[in-house]
Amino acid sequence: MPSLPPVTQALLLINVGMFCLQYVLGFVVDRFLALWPIGAGFLPWQIVTYGFLHGGFNHLLFNMLGLWMFGAELERLWGAKRFLQFYMASVVAAAGFQLIVCALMGANFPTVGASGGLFGLLLGFAMMFPNRTIVPLIPPIPMKAKTFVAIYGGLELLFGVTGTMAGVAHFAHLGGIFGGWLMIRYWRGQPPFGRRR
């Protein structure tokens, strides 16, 4: 098994470290580093820091599994700098979507988790390796990467609109997909951006 590339490894370690810090300091970490809605405790750095916190061990485990599965391969393809740009664009876009949804709904609860970044990675993987066969954990059915992301994205939209699975930031997940999509279009010089980068 190939070794983990440096940024993927660093992200895994930071997430685990922050989870341990949450366990020790609890509310203090969540109060200042989770993503709170505007007017309910929002601080500017939270659009990044929330992506390194998690709501429980299973939340951390599945996000880190996805980061390892999809992030490592994308970092090998793009290199460390581009991979980090892509991941952070997904995290920040997810935060933006979540802040807008919370403002529209009048919500005052915080958001935590690397899921927005992970959904961006899923989109990136599907765009770079659309016909690669993967076997997701749920459901354990082999399918092409592009099919998996289309189904997952559609489910997130459905769950977000219908309010299914309360407590899950479905629109943040969609924001991560959107941020990843925008970053790839920026690199390719496609609308709404100018020349290729």
Let me know if 115 is a catalytic residue.
yes
Q: Cα(first)–Cα(last) distance of the chain, in Å?
A: 32
Q: Which of 54, 90, 115, 170 is catalytic?
A: 115
Instruction: Say if CB 172 and CB 93 are below 8 A apart.
Output: no
CA 161, chain centre distance (Å) = 19
Catalytic residue, chosen from 54, 90, 170, 173, is 173
CB atoms within 10 A of CB 159: 17
Largest CA distance in the chain: 48
Residue type, 84: L
Other beta carbons within 10 angstroms of residue 177's beta carbon come to 26
Catalytic: 59? no
Contact 134, 65 (CB under 8 A): no
Q: For residues 152 and 82, what is the distance between their CA atoms, to the nearest angstrom?
A: 25
Size of the chain, expressed as the number of residues it contains: 197
What residues are annotated to the active site?
115, 173
